[in-house]
Amino acid sequence: MKPIISTSELVSESAGPTPPVLLDVRWSLGGPPGRPEYEIGHLLGAVYVDLDAELAGPPGKGGRHPLPDPDVFGAAMRRAGVSAGTPVVVYDGGLGWAAARAWWLLRWAGHPNVRVLDGGLAAWTGELSRDTPEPEPGDFVPRPGAAGLLDADGAAALARAGLLLDARAAERYRGDVEPIDRVGGHIPGAVSAPTTENVGPDGRFLPADALTARFAALGAAEATEVAVYCGSGVSGAHEVLALAVAGIPAALYAGSWSEWSADPARPVATGPDPQ
């Protein structure tokens, strides 16, 4: 099953015998919450999910967006009508990061059928709804561990033994600037791979063959294992999604740079070279 779905495919499936559950996960780093935007207009039947409160735990030693408590996450998904046997489609405003975070979490928690709307709400040309749906509660119970997850030590080891991709902007990877975390730079051995280069000007993912070529040039063809990190485990999920489009399985270091850089004992590399 493809991990993304086009707007035309969504229209067709929504009119079919098993319409997907729709989750609206609009969110922006440091910006206003997405709920007001949701109330202005959303896809018909979509339920709003709060990334900070329901797709992440409280900030702390595990980073700015540590994984949520499975019980909290499960309750949010059931409230939205998610069941183990129902397809799920997730979207955000168009950047794709928040939708990918929800996609990755559902996969990690064992849901077998979840996709991201390619291009997000920005790609949608149909009507929007202002009605707040009240779906029948779902039965989904998270069973964590179905998708690859790394901790800090695992990320350090994979940077030496496989391919660890840094999905942040190149200037943050190099350590030229660091607007959020304690120190700039990257995990030694990680390769710069800004997630913004996985999409075209319209916000949709590049074709699978183009993504395959991109990741091969970064070393994915030779690596036995691939993993991704970012600032706090949100944009990194988008790169894991891009890798899935390319047919390359990858793990996520969810704590990412916000966890790594908070520990002064962990090494930091700067400049354009991985080491």
Per-residue pLDDT, 174:
98
The pLDDT tens digits of the residues spanning 224-259 come to 799 999 999 999 999 999 999 999 999 999 999 999
Pick the catalytic residue from 51, 230, 237, 251.
230
Mean pLDDT of 101-120: 97
Per-residue pLDDT, 1:
79
Burial pattern 6-20, b for ≥16 Cβ within 10 A else e, equals ebeebeebeeeeeeb
pLDDT band, residue 35 (cuts 50/70/90): confident
pLDDT band, residue 40 (cuts 50/70/90): very high
Per-residue pLDDT, 188:
98
Residue 4 designated active-site? no
In 3D space, the residue among 262, 212, 223, 255 whose CA is nearest the CA of residue 237 turns out to be: 255
Residue 76 has pLDDT above 90, yes or no: yes
The pLDDT tens digits of the residues spanning 96-108 come to 999 999 999 999 9
In 3D space, the residue among 119, 104, 107 whose CA is nearest the CA of residue 236 turns out to be: 104
Mean pLDDT of 36-45: 95
Residue 31 has pLDDT above 70, yes or no: no
Per-residue pLDDT, 32:
63
DSSP-assigned letters across all residues of the chain? --SEE-HHHHHHHHTSSSPPEEEE----TTS--SHHHHHH-B-TT-EE--HHHHSS--SBTTBSSPPPPHHHHHHHHHHTT--TTS-EEEE-SSS-HHHHHHHHHHHHTT-S-EEEETTGGGG--S--B-----PPP--------SS-EE-HHHHHHHHHHSEEEE-S-HHHHHTS--SSSSS--B-TT-EE--GGGGB-TTSPBPPHHHHHHHHHHTTTTT-S-EEEE-SSSSHHHHHHHHHHHTT---EEESSHHHHHTT-TTS--B-SSS--
Per-residue pLDDT, 30:
65
pLDDT band, residue 58 (cuts 50/70/90): very high
Mean pLDDT of 193-209: 96
Residues 6+ away with beta carbon under 8 Å from 12: none
Per-residue pLDDT, 257:
98
Percent share of the chain, pLDDT over 90: 91
Residue 6 has pLDDT above 70, yes or no: yes
